[in-house]
Structure 1
């Protein structure tokens, strides 16, 4: 295991700068997720940590060593890709132990490490099979096992669940987190899926256009997003954003909808153009509340997702009660004022 320190790292492709002075401090044994939309630079940053992309500026340290200019083979890392990259002519056992065999490690030691990794990942009964005889989830576990046997200082995961179906993604998500809890190796994981980030990470790094928008624990980003980008990206369904101003102790939207405010509104917020943020799950259905007409109703059994036209404003709601709402129905809603977020409209920053 090792501490990873990334200081003012930059990446240029010709005149185009895709990573802008990124700095992240990753503690020994921490599970850190780099998350953001496609093109934000998260995979490029991971590849620079791995030594698969050159660093244009700044430095990367793994443990006490600066590794910015070291080849990948000398960094003592193991990487798991989304496409498994297994050798089709080798058994599971041979795939898992191949890197150690290349290093001429004692066969008995290789066997012990492979058996231990197989036990951790539930592959004990599959060691004699070939990749074509495995499911997608089993292949991904073999790829993880191949990384485990190397006993690296750092695990790097590059969107490893992207090729799996929804149910298997959930299962594998749990297996990767369990593996980390058992082994404790420092882990850096890249995904565009914020649900994966929220459920797996000790710390999340939100990237956007090559910049870090916010770094923090999952619930910290959920409860106190630094800006509208993080607020809209973290949380599913996404947060509602309504433009308007504070007038006479309430928030009035551009369409004239009146909404409650939290108690701790800064005095500087008055008179400014603001964005009012409220998550769908922090809105409840109440008789006599703010009226809205249902323009979309989706039930999943455990909850109901409803979009409302409330005085010209589009508001998404997530109700966990067993309500009977149909398209076109008019219902009343109430916003939890303790869960309201206010942002400066011009900068997008939280106030």
Structure 2
């Protein structure tokens, strides 16, 4: 295990910059998720940590060593890719032990480490099978086992669950988190799925257009997003954003809808162009001042997701009660003022 320090790392291809001076410190043993939309630079950053991409500027330290310009084989890391990259002519045991064989480890050492990794991942009964005889989830576990046997200082995961179906993704993300809790090796995990990030990470790094938008624990990002981008990206379904301004202690939208405010709104916010943020799960069905016409209803059994047209402003709601909501009907709602977020319209920053 080892901490990882990324210091002012930049990457550009000619005149095109894709990573703009990123700095982040990863504590020894942490599970850190790099999350963001496609093209934000998360996989490029991971590949620079792995030594698969050259840095244009900055430094990367793993443990006490600077590894910025070391080849991948000398960084003491293990990487799990989106595609499993298994050798089809080798058994599970041979695939898992191949890196050790290249290092000329003894057969006894290889067998012992492969058996230990197989036990951790529940692969004991599959060691003599070939990749073609495995399911997608089993193949991904073999790829993880191949990384475990190397006893690296850092695990790197590059969107490892993207090729799996929805049910298997849920199962595998639990297995990856459980593996980390058992082994404790520093782990850096890349995904575009914010649900994966929220459920797996000790710390989340939110990237956008090659910049870090916010770093923090999952609930910190959920409860106190730094700006509109983070607020919209973290949380599913996405936060509602409604334009307006505070007038006489009331938030009034451009369409004339009035929305409640927390008691501690700063005086400096009055009269400014703002964006009112409220998550769908913090809205309740209730008789009150806010009414809307239902424009969409989606039931999942345990929840009802609905969109309401409230005087021209669209508000998404997530109801956990069993309600009889029909398309075109009128529904009253109330907003939990303890979970309201206000953002500056011009800068996008939370106030």
Q: What are the superposed Cα offsets for residues 97-151 of structure 1, whole Å, 9 maximum, x if unpaired?
A: 0000000001101100000000000000000000000000000000000000000
Which residue of the partner structure matches residue 186 of structure 1?
Answer: 186
Deviation at 1:240, TM superposition (A): 0.2
In 1: Cα distance, 2:13 partner to 2:132 partner? 38
Secondary structure at the counterpart of residue 179 of structure 1:
helix
**Structure 1 runs of 4+ with >4 Å offset:** none
Secondary structure at the counterpart of residue 170 of structure 1:
helix
Q: What are the superposed Cα offsets for residues 216-256 of structure 1, whole Å, 9 maximum, x if unpaired?
A: 00000000000000000000000000000001111001111
Deviation at 1:289, TM superposition (A): 4.1
Contact 2:26 2:32 in 1 (8 A): yes
Contact 2:244 2:251 in 1 (8 A): yes
Question: How many residue pairs were aligned?
Answer: 351
Contact 2:35 2:193 in 1 (8 A): yes
Which residue of the partner structure matches residue 266 of structure 1?
Answer: 266
Which residue of the partner structure matches residue 30 of structure 2?
Answer: 30
In 1: Cα distance, 2:115 partner to 2:31 partner? 25
Which residue of the partner structure matches residue 218 of structure 1?
Answer: 218
In 2: Cα distance, 1:10 partner to 1:265 partner? 39
Deviation at 1:287, TM superposition (A): 2.2
Matches within 5 A, 1:56-71: 56-71=56-71
User: Is residue 326 of structure 2 the alignment partner of residue 326 of structure 1?
Assistant: yes
Matches within 5 A, 1:201-216: 201-216=201-216
In 1: Cα distance, 2:288 partner to 2:33 partner? 43
TM-score normalised by the chain length of structure 2: 0.99
In 2: Cα distance, 1:246 partner to 1:36 partner? 32
Which residue of the partner structure matches residue 5 of structure 1?
Answer: 5
Contact 2:278 2:339 in 1 (8 A): yes
In 2: Cα distance, 1:17 partner to 1:207 partner? 14
Which residue of the partner structure matches residue 110 of structure 1?
Answer: 110
Matches within 5 A, 1:1-351: 1-351=1-351
In 2: Cα distance, 1:223 partner to 1:45 partner? 27
Q: Which 5+ residue runs of structure 1 have no aligned equivalent? A: none
Secondary structure at the counterpart of residue 317 of structure 2:
strand
Secondary structure at the counterpart of residue 59 of structure 2:
strand
Q: Which 5+ residue runs of structure 2 have no aligned equivalent? A: none
- CA RMSD of superposed structures (Å): 0.5
In 1: Cα distance, 2:129 partner to 2:254 partner? 63
